[in-house]
Amino acid sequence: MPNTKPLHEMFELNEELPCSVEGCKNKRYKLYSTCLKHRQRVYKYGHPKALSISRKAMKAELKQVRNIVLKNRDTHPGLNKAIKWFDKWLLDASLEMSGVPGQYHFKRLYDHGISGEELLVVTAAVFIYSYRNPSKLPSDSKYKEAAVEFAMAHQTTKLIPLEYMTTASGKKRAKFLSKKDRSEIGKYIYDTVGLLYLKMVRSLDRKNDEQQTWKKEMQMDFNVA
Ligand SMILES: [Zn+2]
């Protein structure tokens, strides 16, 4: 039987229920499974619990990726291809080719002289950061990897000056990437070079483990009997 309830009644029924985010005491918003605050986080950051990540917060990850690129650029075939892939994306966008994800934004990046390598460094840093800070960029079965995807797209906007638009009332307002752009750009990066970034996480973890083992071994007790 089709549901014939008026929409406002369905809203009211749903709005009686608690927000599905653990620990949140708010009621749901309209027909969403979360409250308005958490719904807005989904819209902006891809996940109800995701937060905005500053470039400063990823300082360590940026440094580590720059070092990986410097030492492997000429020898690692996957890294080499990934940088070229970003370069081609920028070039295709600059030529205004059809079907290029985030074409308008990537043309702006190209026009500001941003290279494929810079895009790789900043997006790989976000990826590694998400592994170390799952509470800030969570992933789960419902929202999947949207938080890290959105954050990767968002960080690319920080490489160039903000664009401004004039509103109907004549006010100047910053123009941000649309939800569609954030989702499309982020997903394209994740699906294409995610495996490479995961290998960076693993290599860094292994190096860290080796350093910890070394420290432990240097501090082991001697038999002095
Ligand atoms: Zn909530």
Could you report the per-residue pLDDT of 66-121, keeping only the tens digit for each? Answer: 999 999 999 999 999 999 999 999 999 999 999 999 999 999 999 999 999 999 99
Q: In this predicted structure, what is the pLDDT of residue 159?
A: 97
Task: Tell whether pTM > 0.85.
Answer: yes
Residue 40 Cα to ligand 1 midpoint, Å, equals 10
How far apart (Å, rounded) are the C-alpha atoms in residues 72 and 77? 9
* 135 pLDDT more than 70: yes
Residue 13 Cα to ligand 1 midpoint, Å, equals 17
Q: In this predicted structure, what is the pLDDT of residue 5?
A: 83
Residue 11 Cα to ligand 1 midpoint, Å, equals 16
Q: How many CB atoms lie within 10 A of CB 210?
A: 10
Residues with CB under 5 A from ligand 1 (ion): 19, 21, 24, 26, 35, 38
Count CA within 13 A, CB hemisphere, residue 21: 22
Residue 31 Cα to ligand 1 midpoint, Å, equals 13
* 173 beta partners: 165
Q: In this predicted structure, what is the pLDDT of residue 3?
A: 66
> What average pLDDT score do residues 160-179 get?
92
How far apart (Å, rounded) are the C-alpha atoms in residues 24 and 224? 58
Give the single-character DSSP code of 171: -
What confidence tens digit (pLDDT) does each residue in 57-80 have? 999 999 999 999 999 999 999 999
Q: Which residue has the tokens 């290029």?
A: 100
CB contact at 8 A, 90 and 106: yes
Q: In this predicted structure, what is the pLDDT of residue 62?
A: 98
